[in-house]
Structure 1
Amino acid sequence: MRNDKHSAISLRKQGKSYNEISKILGTPKSTLSLWLKNVSMSPKVRKKFLDAVKERQSKSITEFNKKQGEYARKKAQKIQQDAAEMVNALSKKDLLLVGSALYWAEGFKKTRWILAFTNSDPLMIKLIMKFFREVCEVTEEKIRGNVQIHPNVTPKQAISYWSKITKIPQCQFLKCYTRLSPSSKQKRPYNTLPYGTLRISIYDSKITNTVKGWIQGISEKI
C-alpha cells in the first residue's frame, strides 16, 4: 500500500489525473483523493495538466455535439419522410389549387394577357408546367422560355438544361440574357445558379384571366 501511495504521488506530480492514476495502479479514486489532497504540481506540470483537461473537455463537447447533430438530422429526416407519405397523388383539383397558389405567390400578375412565371428551382418549374399543361390546358405553341444567366454560364448549356426540365422545345426559347447587378455580385457566390433562372411566358388572355379567377376564388374562401 505504501509503495502504491508513493507511486500515486509521483504520478500526480507528473500531471496524471485521478482517472489515469486509478487505471495504472488499480487504486480507487476515493483512496487517491485522500492520498493526494495535499500534493501540488509544479507550475509547468500544472499548466500541462490543465491544458490536457481542456483538450479532453473540448473533444468531449465536440463529440457530444456531433452525436446530437446526427440525432437531430435523423429525427428531422423521419419527420419529413412521414409527412411526405401523407401526400397522395395529386388529383386535377389538387393541382388546380396548388398551381394557382404557386402562381399567386411567384407569378407575374400585372397584366391580363400574359402568364409569366420565373424561378430557378427545377422542381417548382416542373410543377408549374404540369399546372399549365394539365389544368390550364395551354397549347404547346403558346409557351416560350427565356433564361437569365450569369456570365459564367453558356447559353447553349442553360437552354438545353431547361428544355429537358420543361419539355419545351429549344426552338421556343428566346435568346438568353445576362444581367447581374453590382449588389448581386457581392451577395451571390460564384456559380450559385449553374443554369440560370427560367422565365416561362404564355401569351393567352383567356387563360391568364382564368388563373386570376382561381386565385380570386381561393382568396375569397380564406
Structure 2
Amino acid sequence: MVQAKPELKARARELRQAGKTYDEIVAELGVAKSSVSLWVRDLPAPKPSVARARMMAEARWGPYRHERDLARERTVAQAAAELGRLSPRDLFVVGVALYWAEGTKSKSYRFSESVTFVNSDPDMIKVYLAWLGLLEVAPARLRFSVMIHESADVSAAERFWADLVGREVADFGKTTLKRHNPKTVRKNVGAAYRGCLVVRVLQGADLYRRIEGWWSGIVCGVREPETGDRVQDPSRVD
C-alpha cells in the first residue's frame, strides 16, 4: 500500500487539475478524503462547470421558484374567478378597447377606414373574433392571412392559425414573409413562434367609423372617481 501511494497521489493531482471535486476523487481512487486534501492542497480549487453551477443554483433557488410559481398560479386563478363570465356589454366594451389598442387606425398622414386587426396572441384573436360575432359581422366578410419571419416553420404556422379560426389554409390570403436579419437577436423563435394573424373585415368603413365613435364614447364616459367611489379591488367595482 505504501508503494501505491505515490501513484495515487499523482492520479489525485491529475483529477484535481481536471476539475474534479474532493468527493469525486475519493470515489474514484478509494482513498480517505484527508489524504486527497493533503495531496492536492497546493492546487487551486476548480471552477464549477456550467452544469454543476446550474445544479447548485437550482438546489438553492428551486424551492423558492416553486413557491413563487404556486403563488402566481393561485393569484391568477383567483382573479379569473372574480371576473366570471362576460356579459354582452362587457365583451362589447372590451372589444372596442382591444381594437383601438391593437387594430389599424386612420392617421392624419394616412387616411384609412379599414378594419384590420393583427396579433400574435391566440387568445387575443379569440376575443376579437367573439367581439365581431357580437357585432354580427358575417364570417363571409372576414379575410385571414399570416405575417411571419421567413426563417420560421411557415407551413406549421399557417395550419395553426387556420385551425384556430376554423378555416382551411387554402382559404387564407398570401402569407407575408419578413426578411430574416442574422444580425438581429430575436426572442420569438422556436416551435412556439407562429408569427401574427391578420384579420380584415371587408367593406368595413362603416364599422370603423362606429368603432372610432365607441372609443370616443368610452373616453368621454370616463370620470375621475370621487373619494367615496375609490376601491382597492377593481374586481368589486359595480
User: Rg bigger for which structure?
Assistant: 1
How many Å apart are 1:160 and its aligned residue?
2.7
Q: Is the 8 A contact 1:146 1:173 kept in 2?
A: yes
* Residue 52 of structure 1: aligned partner: none
* Structure with greater proportional helix content: 1
TM-score of the superposed pair, with normalisation by structure 1:
0.65
In structure 2, C-alpha distance between the alignment counterparts of 1:66 and 1:91, rounded to whole Å: 41
* Residue 144 of structure 2: aligned partner: 145
The Cα offsets for residues 24-79 of structure 1, whole Å up to 9 and x where unpaired, read as xxxxxxxxxxxxxxxxxx8x77999xxxxxxxxxx998644322222221111111
How many Å apart are 1:149 and its aligned residue?
2.1
Q: Is the 8 A contact 2:149 2:180 kept in 1?
A: no
Q: Of residues 86, 89, 99 in structure 2, which corresponds to 1:90? A: 86
> Match of 2:82, SS?
coil
In structure 1, C-alpha distance between the alignment counterparts of 2:140 and 2:207, rounded to whole Å: 14
Q: Which runs of 5+ in 1 are unaligned?
A: 1-41, 49-58
In structure 1, C-alpha distance between the alignment counterparts of 2:138 and 2:115, rounded to whole Å: 13
TM-score of the superposed pair, with normalisation by structure 2:
0.61
> Match of 1:108, SS?
coil
- Pair 1:71–1:159, CA change in 2 (3 A): closer
The percentage of aligned residue pairs carrying the same residue is 24
In structure 2, C-alpha distance between the alignment counterparts of 1:142 and 1:200, rounded to whole Å: 10
| Matched positions, count | 174
Q: Of residues 58, 62, 66 in structure 2, which corresponds to 1:66? A: 62
* Residue 177 of structure 1: aligned partner: 176
Supply the RMSD in Å over aligned alpha carbons: 3.3
- Pair 1:213–1:188, CA change in 2 (3 A): same
Q: Which runs of 5+ in 2 are unaligned?
A: 1-37, 45-54, 223-238
Once structures 1 and 2 are overlaid, which stretch shifts more, 112-121 or 178-187?
178-187
Q: Is the 8 A contact 2:97 2:215 kept in 1?
A: yes
Amino acid at match of 1:127: V
* Residue 207 of structure 1: aligned partner: 207
* Residue 96 of structure 2: aligned partner: 100
